[in-house]
A and B are shown apart, each in its own frame.
Chain A
């Protein structure tokens, strides 16, 4: 596959409302006609993933999944978009999985590597928050426990 993939930053640039609307209308028109071309479906899905609205992103990823299922020849390409979609939705784990699968197939894919680092960064950041939270919880826990123990010993 040509490495014609957008970088993650591209996914952050949303289309204008009008543009997305055009893609949506095109898609819906084809749905009504009974035959959706893959490109149209992808266009709409990609437009949705680029959108900042989380419902749109979910829908976009869903469409990408449909493409992935029905078009085996397009799967490899789809892997990256699915990873991007999940990344945008914040499903970093899933993003990592899809991206990992892609890297397995194409170890030299630049875009995939860049996405990998981005995902890792996000995971690390969330990790710190989590650690802090767990740490805080642990601290509260120990304090409470200590208090309880003290009260118990004192009442004896």
Chain B
């Protein structure tokens, strides 16, 4: 071995013991083989030691040997080697398997004599890795591995590969000088010249020999030597030139190899970056999800707290307004418990389609996820009732004499408002009786009669049994004939376009340009709010907003019918939009309405006066919802506006390509139907838009309603789709 050939400065690195030892070569060979010998060595040594087992004095040597020979690794490998198929080749020399054992034993004394070289954990580590490595798959080399072998790369990149070059430089000093001039020029241009000298003094030349730096440094070295020999001005012989040309060829080849290596490395890094990018994106998504979960939990906590408060106050006997009741508000519904499978559904995919309607869906609402759904469509007087658990149609709500434009469902209570100007209250539990019931005409006749007599004062048509009595008498004491329709509320002279109720309080908006407030327990119309009056008496409290010329002048001025063509949907179709009141919602005494003049009005239900008008939309408001902080309103002007409830200013405006026909929002997202096939979801946390398309509608979506992660949408394709969010 090369211990004689090494330069003297190597000694400091060498194990002094090993350097002194005459058996260095073997020491190198044997010292680290602590655990080399697998196979039956254990057996052999045991066999040898057996006779001496109780002889304390004589087995000293061998017992010292034993721990060295029998490392745990050998024990285990002794068992595994023979059983492994790969080992067969190595056991080809199994004739000499005895020799093998003896070989291990033979190395032992060497190990003892050189005992100073300790067996480090590294030795063990690498030997123990052998099995694992041998088990690994060895695929065919590909890519750069098949082009440039390690050795090739090694020879091309080790420092000595540059020797011939610098030698040539020495002999051709003039050229070097010239090159140096160029280099110097470049360096000074880059402002590096001043640093150059410092560089070299800090780091030794050899230290700097890197793939990239080498050329420069070598040149620098060449330059120095070149200068020294410049005066000599050697004349080069033919042999020398030939040799040089060969060397240059080789150097070029080396360069080629290096280039390949670097290119390969770059490709690898690109792959790695791509992989890391993907991981990063995934992590970011996870983070967002967590954030949303956090918000969700917050909402949940708030809901629970509210319920606690309500219960506490109820126990205390203090009567709070009914609208503060626990299950009072749609938007304040506590956590909904979904069937556990719901979480397994892929989010953003419609997992159920209800097809029975023939015309575009005009209204829908459901009691709870997997509960009961009621849908209505154009030119159809009978809203359909669905069981969301099975996706089957349970029955129909028969009674309206025009198509139904708005629906609200709370538990088993369902209210529908129709083009016939009536609002009907239904008990959904009784829907299945519907089919047996044949007195459809009878009820409507009754309603018609009363309709005429009470039209003007807007009183509700009193039916002999009100909701409460029905609920009390579910034992069937009621006549079977009544069917699911519990009440008919009449008063509006034109189509009822929107309803909103909580507990016993109902507010309706209709194309007669009025809002009416009803008491559901008595069936009385409590108040009528005239929007036309509000338009002609602009509220002074609107801060700094001058009421622009009426956006829909005809509608506002004339008491005639309101009709605007909708901007074309994504599929090019359009309709005449006639719902003067697009949406209403109230909480406590605060009522908000969105109407055909593009205004969002805030009313006080105690006085019946609007106290603020939010102007901004340039088209009829079709939908709105508000929470503690904001009002979100959607309009035919293709935008959704989020208003700050306190200041009345516009908090955010979302622009879409088509008219917005429905929206619902919570603290995290806004879900909207915007005249396209896909349902738009705006993530309020990340400010990102997304679209639900998978298995979705084939024509623009018009209505939607969601609870928790359960979304129901109805489209112009007459389909009702149910989504997991």
The stretch of B140-148, B244-252, B443-451 in contact with A is B140-148
Does chain B have a CB within 8 A of A37? yes
Does chain A have a CB within 8 A of B698? no
- Indicate if the CB atoms of B107 and A130 lie closer than 8 Å: yes
- Indicate if the CB atoms of B100 and A123 lie closer than 8 Å: yes
- Indicate if the CB atoms of B51 and A73 lie closer than 8 Å: no
Complex-state Cα separation, A120 to B37, whole angstroms: 14
Does chain A have a CB within 8 A of B109? yes
Complex-state Cα separation, A101 to B135, whole angstroms: 10
Does chain A have a CB within 8 A of B160? yes
- Indicate if the CB atoms of B160 and A19 lie closer than 8 Å: yes
Query: Which interface class (under 10, 10 to 19, 20 to 34, 35 or more) fits A?
Result: 35 or more
Query: Which interface class (under 10, 10 to 19, 20 to 34, 35 or more) fits B?
Result: 35 or more
Does chain A have a CB within 8 A of B241? no
Residue of B nearest to A89 (CB): B32
- Indicate if the CB atoms of A17 and B158 lie closer than 8 Å: no
Does chain A have a CB within 8 A of B10? yes
- Indicate if the CB atoms of A130 and B206 lie closer than 8 Å: no
Known: A39-B154, A120-B93, A133-B109. A126 touches B102 (CB 8 A): yes
Does chain A have a CB within 8 A of B72? no
Residue of A nearest to B3 (CB): A52
Does chain A have a CB within 8 A of B558? no
Complex-state Cα separation, A112 to B313, whole angstroms: 89
What mask results when residues 84 to 104 of chain A are scored 1 for a CB within 8 Å of chain B, else 0? 001011111110111011011
Does chain A have a CB within 8 A of B133? yes
Does chain B have a CB within 8 A of A110? no
A113, chain B: closest CB distance, angstroms: 13
- Indicate if the CB atoms of B134 and A97 lie closer than 8 Å: yes
Complex-state Cα separation, A62 to B126, whole angstroms: 6
Known: A14-B5, A17-B13, A77-B141. A127 touches B102 (CB 8 A): yes
Query: Which of B96, B144, B150, B206 interacts with A127 by CB under 8 Å?
Result: B96
Complex-state Cα separation, A105 to B294, whole angstroms: 56
- Indicate if the CB atoms of A65 and B96 lie closer than 8 Å: no
Does chain A have a CB within 8 A of B654? no
- Indicate if the CB atoms of B136 and A68 lie closer than 8 Å: yes
Complex-state Cα separation, A75 to B210, whole angstroms: 26
A128 — which chain B residues lie within 8 A by C-beta? 102, 106
A26 — which chain B residues lie within 8 A by C-beta? 209-210
- Indicate if the CB atoms of B32 and A96 lie closer than 8 Å: no
- Indicate if the CB atoms of B143 and A90 lie closer than 8 Å: no
B160 — which chain A residues lie within 8 A by C-beta? 19
- Indicate if the CB atoms of A13 and B102 lie closer than 8 Å: no
Query: Which of A5, A104, A131 interacts with B102 by CB under 8 Å?
Result: A131
- Indicate if the CB atoms of B30 and A90 lie closer than 8 Å: yes
- Indicate if the CB atoms of A6 and B151 lie closer than 8 Å: yes
A4, chain B: closest CB distance, angstroms: 4
What mask results when residues 91 to 110 of chain B are scored 1 for a CB within 8 Å of chain A, else 0? 00100101111111111110
Residue of B nearest to A133 (CB): B105
Query: Which of A23, A62, A74, A140 interacts with B150 by CB under 8 Å?
Result: A74
B93 — which chain A residues lie within 8 A by C-beta? 120
- Indicate if the CB atoms of A97 and B87 lie closer than 8 Å: yes
- Indicate if the CB atoms of B107 and A129 lie closer than 8 Å: yes
- Indicate if the CB atoms of A73 and B139 lie closer than 8 Å: yes
What mask results when residues 655 to 698 of chain B are scored 1 for a CB within 8 Å of chain A, else 0? 00000000000000000000000000000000000000000000
B230, chain A: closest CB distance, angstroms: 27
Residue of A nearest to B44 (CB): A134
Does chain B have a CB within 8 A of A152? no
- Indicate if the CB atoms of A42 and B102 lie closer than 8 Å: no
Complex-state Cα separation, A71 to B144, whole angstroms: 11
- Indicate if the CB atoms of A91 and B33 lie closer than 8 Å: yes
- Indicate if the CB atoms of B129 and A65 lie closer than 8 Å: yes
What mask results when residues 42 to 72 of chain A are scored 1 for a CB within 8 Å of chain B, else 0? 1100110000111111110110010011011
- Indicate if the CB atoms of B133 and A65 lie closer than 8 Å: yes
A69 — which chain B residues lie within 8 A by C-beta? 133, 136
Complex-state Cα separation, A25 to B214, whole angstroms: 13
Complex-state Cα separation, A141 to B47, whole angstroms: 12
- Indicate if the CB atoms of A52 and B28 lie closer than 8 Å: yes
A54, chain B: closest CB distance, angstroms: 5
A40, chain B: closest CB distance, angstroms: 8
B14 — which chain A residues lie within 8 A by C-beta? 52-53
Query: Which of B37, B51, B108, B138 interacts with A79 by CB under 8 Å?
Result: B138
- Indicate if the CB atoms of B138 and A54 lie closer than 8 Å: no
- Indicate if the CB atoms of A12 and B149 lie closer than 8 Å: no
B133 — which chain A residues lie within 8 A by C-beta? 65, 68-69, 82, 98
- Indicate if the CB atoms of A39 and B157 lie closer than 8 Å: yes
Does chain B have a CB within 8 A of A153? no
In this complex, the member of A17, A91, A132 whose beta carbon has the largest number of chain B beta carbons within 10 angstroms is A91
Known: A90-B32, A94-B36. A23 touches B158 (CB 8 A): yes
Complex-state Cα separation, A120 to B152, whole angstroms: 28
Residue positions of A touching B, CB distance < 8 A:
1-2, 4-6, 12-19, 21-23, 25-26, 29, 35, 37-40, 42-43, 46-47, 52-59, 61-62, 65, 68-69, 71-79, 81-82, 86, 88-94, 96-98, 100-101, 103-105, 120, 122-134, 137-138, 140-141, 144-145
26 contacts between A and B (CB under 8 A): A1-B145, A2-B149, A21-B206, A40-B157, A43-B158, A53-B14, A53-B18, A54-B27, A58-B122, A68-B136, A73-B143, A78-B150, A88-B28, A88-B29, A92-B33, A93-B36, A93-B39, A94-B36, A100-B89, A101-B134, A122-B29, A123-B100, A127-B96, A129-B102, A134-B48, A137-B62
Having A40-B157, A58-B120, A130-B103, one finds 8 other A-B pairs with CB under 8 Å, namely: A4-B151, A19-B206, A26-B209, A35-B269, A42-B153, A53-B13, A90-B32, A90-B107
Residue positions of B touching A, CB distance < 8 A:
1-3, 5-7, 9-10, 13-15, 18, 24, 26-33, 36-39, 44, 48, 51-52, 55, 58, 62, 86-87, 89-90, 93, 96, 98-109, 117, 120, 122-123, 125-127, 129-130, 133-134, 136-146, 149-154, 157-160, 206-207, 209-210, 261, 265, 269
